């Protein structure tokens, strides 16, 4: 009998599943990686084999050509799909089941079982409804490895309906301008579009060219986004009175000069921090996050009720303290390369 949980080992560049010799969301190329979702700080190219949901693999094929043959007919990076709820044997007596994390299309928590012990790794997650992905599932476990991107009590995300209301009001009040929304290309952009549709906005939405392929990928996976047009195919007069979506990096650059007098908005959990909105010259900050806020993080730990909570990927200290005050065993992991997502 080995010591409890000695089979799961946090290292600076990822969590190592020792008996199966594979890694969760490794920050460097490894022989076998289990990937929670397609964001760049979790999904990297160059692994020998990538195990992920079919949606995440499609995103990785788009970004890194994972699972796609090269010119010589070789497949340098093998892709192994695992559907939600499906269990695969990893070897060494370890089973892995992927369940929804509610973060972006295809995002999964990974449930690992070995020697009667269960470990859940959330990857990034949220608890709010999102029309573009399956909702987070609470799974009981011994060790819960949770993200903590917004792990401070000051971070409480407002209801998305409030933020969409602000966006639609700005759009309505300025028929001679356009509203330019900076949104992360994977997840946030499609969620904003889907929420606009749900709120009854059926006009064409204009896209920066960098968003097009990911939006098409979402549509191919059953997420309806309505009529999308490329800014590049249209003149200022077509775009006047419309909503335009671009990556956050395009908000202040020359590209935006082709738009009719844009009102600059940005959809991000970081818009709660006034300085961040100012830094980017954002006139209309929209606090829309694909991560759990403080209340969601703490409620989820209570619902999962693990024997131990391991905290990673953000502001670990406050959540660690919260666990200790509630007599919950917890530790902070120091993983590298998990930057604040523009999310």
- Name the site residues for Zn ion (rule: CB under 5 A): 39, 41, 124
CA distance 315 to 144: 16
Give the dihedral sign, CA 14/53/99/316.
positive
CA distance 68 to 322: 45
* Smallest separation, CB 342 to Zn ion (Å): 10
Backbone angles phi, psi at 329, to 5 degrees: -70, 130
* Smallest separation, CB 294 to Zn ion (Å): 17
CB nearer to Zn ion: give 75 or 334.
334
CB nearer to Zn ion: give 124 or 293.
124
Do 47 and 31 touch, CB atoms closer than 8 A?
A: yes
CA distance 25 to 256: 35
CB nearer to Zn ion: give 171 or 313.
313
Q: Kindly tell me the burial class for residue 74, based on how many C-beta atoms sit within 10 Å of its own C-beta (0-12, 13-18, 19 or more).
A: exposed
DSSP state of 52: E
* Smallest separation, CB 192 to Zn ion (Å): 16
CB nearer to Zn ion: give 82 or 104.
104
DSSP state of 225: -
Which residues have CB under 8 Å from 11's CB, separation 6+? none
* Smallest separation, CB 341 to Zn ion (Å): 5
DSSP state of 219: H
Nearest Cα to Cα of residue 323 among 119, 137, 127, 151: 151
CB nearer to Zn ion: give 30 or 133.
133
Three-class SS state of 12: coil
* Smallest separation, CB 264 to Zn ion (Å): 24
CB nearer to Zn ion: give 177 or 313.
313
* Smallest separation, CB 338 to Zn ion (Å): 6
């Amino acid at each position: 009998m080995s010591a409890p949980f000695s089979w799961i080992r946090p290292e600076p560049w990822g969590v190592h599943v020792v008996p199966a010799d594979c890694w969760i969301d490794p920050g460097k190329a490894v022989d076998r990686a289990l990937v929670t979702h397609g964001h760049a700080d979790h999904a990297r190219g160059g692994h020998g084999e990538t195990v992920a949901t079919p949606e995440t693999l499609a995103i990785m094929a788009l970004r890194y050509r994972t699972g796609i043959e090269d010119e010589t007919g070789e497949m340098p990076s093998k892709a192994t799909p695992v559907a939600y709820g499906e269990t695969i044997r990893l070897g060494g007596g370890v089973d892995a089941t992927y369940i929804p994390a509610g973060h972006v299309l295809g995002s999964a928590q990974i449930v690992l079982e070995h020697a009667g012990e269960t470990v859940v790794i959330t990857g990034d997650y949220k608890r709010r409804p999102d029309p573009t992905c399956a909702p987070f599932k609470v799974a009981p476990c011994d060790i819960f490895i949770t993200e903590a991107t917004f792990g401070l009590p000051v971070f409480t995300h407002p209801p998305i309906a409030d933020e969409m209301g602000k966006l639609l009001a700005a759009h309505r009040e300025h028929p001679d301008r356009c509203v330019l929304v900076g949104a992360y290309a994977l997840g946030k952009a499609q969620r904003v579009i889907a929420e606009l549709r749900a709120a009854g906005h059926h006009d064409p939405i204009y896209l920066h060219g960098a968003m097009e392929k990911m939006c098409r990928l979402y549509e191919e996976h059953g997420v309806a986004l309505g009529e999308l047009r490329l800014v590049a195919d249209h003149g200022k007069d077509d775009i006047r009175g419309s909503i335009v979506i671009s990556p956050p990096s395009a908000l202040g650059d020359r590209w935006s000069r082709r738009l009719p007098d844009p009102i600059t908005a940005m959809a991000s959990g970081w818009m709660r921090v006034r300085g961040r909105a100012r830094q980017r010259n954002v006139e209309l900050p929209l606090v829309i996050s694909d991560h759990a806020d403080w209340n969601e993080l703490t409620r989820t730990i209570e619902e999962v009720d693990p024997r131990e909570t391991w905290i990673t990927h953000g502001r670990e200290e406050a959540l660690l303290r919260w666990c200790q005050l509630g007599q919950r065993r917890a530790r902070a992991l120091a993983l590298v390369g998990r930057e604040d997502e523009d999310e």
